[in-house]
Structure 1
Amino acid sequence: MWVFLLMVLWPVAASTARSDVKPGCQEKCGNVSVPYPFGILEPSCAMNDDFFLNCTSNDEGHHELFYAANMPISNISELEGTVTVGIDAAFSCYNKTGIQTDSFAQSMTLRSGPFMFSHTRNIFTAIGCDTLAVVVNSESNYGAACLSLCTEYVEMSDGNPCSGSGCCQTSIPKGLNSLYYLLSSSYNYTNVSDFNRCGFAFLADKRSLKISHWPLSRTTIYGKDAYATDVVIEWVVENKTCEQAKANTSAYSCGTNAYCTDPDEIDQGYRCLCNKGFEGNPYLKDGCQDIDECKGGNPCQEGTCKNTIGDYKCRCPLGKYGDGKTRCTGVGIITIISGN
């Protein structure tokens, strides 16, 4: 009998599991979740062409998700409005006589649509003892340089700031969707060649960057083992403000029990969030589902918890009154039932 009930109830339980994709669409590419408004395999699984991603199979048969041809994706967050990609560092290396042996200048442009490099999450970094790193955008309306110098070996430590001795860091402005960075040297590393022959430059997510992974003794490698860093790309939906979007309900991208917000770090475009008391994917029509606050513990200060749509109530014990979320007043009645 119990086996029969489990077989009957299992499809119901499975159907109530929350999904972050449109019905019938694949949720993952390899190990990376692909929440709506992004989609893979079928263009209809994405909000529009801007959010349709490439899920390909590599030489070993493993599926990999790419934002662009050379930007593998490791994470997508529909709540933060971010995509984390891997981008190879630029480098320049010399031998002891000052002859350049290896070099690579990095250039990247984001796809069309509401995408930009995060100026709050990313930091531009230069590594080396004879290193000048320059970063510009393709429109030539932004440029910055980072100079890193030292005359003796410096231990790269995560606890020390990159203040120009062995490493240098500078921020990028908001709104950039293209970047180009390259390196140069004043003395071709001849004065520091015993411990440093290569300079590196890269953009990286401040949350994951470990300066200790970039010792001055590091040299270059290529191919799949290339030195890639996590870079955060910000995204929004539509090229409108939140108020403009709400005025056109037929094109409004936020689902039921969700609202829009204008991100401070982006000039144009909006994001969606679930209303208080709801959780899920706010871009799907019914993606924001009620949170059962009573499940897994009693959040009430006093009394018993009763879940409501978008909220919960706390019933005071018998004989008391008030809001059990904060405090119940009065004298409770304790009924003792004893058997004869």
Structure 2
Amino acid sequence: MHSLLLHIFFLLSLLSNATTAPFHIPADCPSRCGNVEIPYPFGIGPNCSMDWNFEIICLNSSNPPKPYLEIGFLTYEVEPIHITYQFEVVNISETQIYVKNSTLQLAMACYGMEQYPNKTDIHMDFSYSPYTFSDSNQITIVGCDDLATVESNKSYTNSSVAFMSHCTPSNIETYYGSISTRSCTDTYGCFRALISKCDYLKVELMDAHSIWSENKLYQCSLAFVGMMDGLDFTYRLSNSNAPETFQNSKVFMDKRLVLDWRIIDSNCTTQKSLDSSCGNNSFCIDLDDSFGGSHCKCYEGYKGNPYLYSGCQDINECDNNPCFPSKTCINAPGFYDCSCPNGYYANGTSCILVPRVSHSHSKLTTGNFVIELSHIKQLEHNF
């Protein structure tokens, strides 16, 4: 029964996405929310996005206004329950959307501390939505004597890994000495792991100190998921006894989550046989991963929004003068040409002046004789 309801929900989702033909944006559809541009197929307000999966909520209560994206999914306990995640939108690109929600991105577990009785997990499910976790994300785990389990699906195959850290007083003396702040690249009490492309992620923290000793040096551990920015950060393990120091830190709590987006009901071959789902001067491309879907893309030499009816417009490459100074740039639809001006011919990247023949000093060479052409003309005049 649960499986049947899930399939019904999926089919309803497809029906809501049935129209993917090039779109005319109504004049009253905003193109920005605060400092963030909202390009179609995303949109603010009713009838401004491709479907409800791409609808953006613009909250004007903040200054500047902030855009938010809601992603919903079904879960089952006694009966189907629809759960919605809300993320602040930071940026939208041609294939990805950058969002953040520090509560959803953070897992925390404290042991033997009454002020932190509740353990939280990272648990996000984007099944049957046009979003997947990008492989640009990473999981960072901070703590001692803890076990972190990570569950995900890679190409719809469930997978799980575990990370474990072990800290003892001798470790601290050896690795730290008098230094209380360390870098995550030292891997002592801090671990990083890359995330493969998936649409389901669960990170759970568990106490593992009983495996080695009875005393736990630091009572709390944390894990968060976000964009792999390549930048290192420093932290104090002693702060794990006061996790609000992590929660108030932008280093941990302001990381962007990168999601890949796609048009989930569009297949290029099927669409082209019926009606093109892409605008002028653009083409449809099927995504080659197990999650399916497609994108529209501008032809080379064009730019614009390929999902709109107006489509992509020719780029005037000559505005930036890509030719060598001696050549002239000529723009054409989809490309440009570098030509030499009249009276010059191309020689590699340069233009060479075409030599001119002077009649008054020209010579005619025949065999071993050289005759001045001007003398011939004089003889003709005499006769």
Q: TM-score range by the shorter chain?
A: 0.7 to 0.9
Cα deviation for residue 290 of structure 1 reads 1.2
Cα deviation for residue 108 of structure 1 reads 2.3
Amino acid at match of 2:159: Y
Matched, 1:238 2:264: yes
Percentage of identical aligned residues: 31
Superposition pairs of residues 1-340 of structure 1, within 5 angstroms: 22-24=25-27, 25-42=29-46, 44-58=47-61, 60=62, 62-68=64-70, 69-77=85-93, 79=94, 81-88=95-102, 89-94=106-111, 98-99=112-113, 101-102=115-116, 103-110=119-126, 112-118=128-134, 120-136=135-151, 141-150=158-167, 151-152=171-172, 156-157=182-183, 160=185, 162=187, 165-174=188-197, 176-187=198-209, 191=215, 193=217, 196-207=218-229, 210-212=231-233, 214-218=235-239, 219-221=242-244, 225=248, 227-248=253-274, 250=275, 252-300=276-324, 302-322=326-346, 327=349, 330-332=352-354
Alignment match, 1:16: none
Unaligned runs of 5+ residues in structure 2 are 1-22, 71-84, 357-383
3-state SS of paired residue (1:245): helix
Cα deviation for residue 232 of structure 1 reads 0.9
Amino acid at match of 2:264: E
Cα deviation for residue 28 of structure 1 reads 1.3
Structure with the largest fraction of helix: 2
3-state SS of paired residue (2:319): coil
Q: What is the RMSD computed on CA atoms of the aligned residues? A: 3.4
303-312 or 220-229: bigger deviation = 220-229
Contact persistence 1:126–1:147 (CA under 8 A): no
Contact persistence 2:113–2:219 (CA under 8 A): no
Cα deviation for residue 198 of structure 1 reads 2.7
CA distance in 2, matches of 1:67, 1:143: 28
TM-score by length of 1: 0.74
Cα deviation for residue 237 of structure 1 reads 1.0
CA distance in 1, matches of 2:314, 2:96: 24
Contact persistence 2:148–2:164 (CA under 8 A): yes
3-state SS of paired residue (2:244): coil
TM-score by length of 2: 0.66
CA distance in 1, matches of 2:157, 2:299: 41
Cα deviation for residue 309 of structure 1 reads 1.5
Contact persistence 1:39–1:46 (CA under 8 A): yes
Contact persistence 1:92–1:100 (CA under 8 A): no
Q: Which has the larger radius of gyration?
A: 2
3-state SS of paired residue (2:43): coil
Q: What does the per-residue CA deviation read over 1:66-111, in whole Å, with 9 as the maximum and x for residues that have no partner?
A: 222432111111x2x11111132111234xxx44642322322337
Amino acid at match of 2:259: I
Cα deviation for residue 256 of structure 1 reads 1.0
Unaligned runs of 5+ residues in structure 1 are 1-19, 335-340
Change (3 A) 1:30 1:115: same
Cα deviation for residue 184 of structure 1 reads 1.2
Change (3 A) 1:47 1:260: same
Alignment match, 1:338: none
Amino acid at match of 2:99: V
CA distance in 2, matches of 1:285, 1:328: 42
Cα deviation for residue 291 of structure 1 reads 1.0
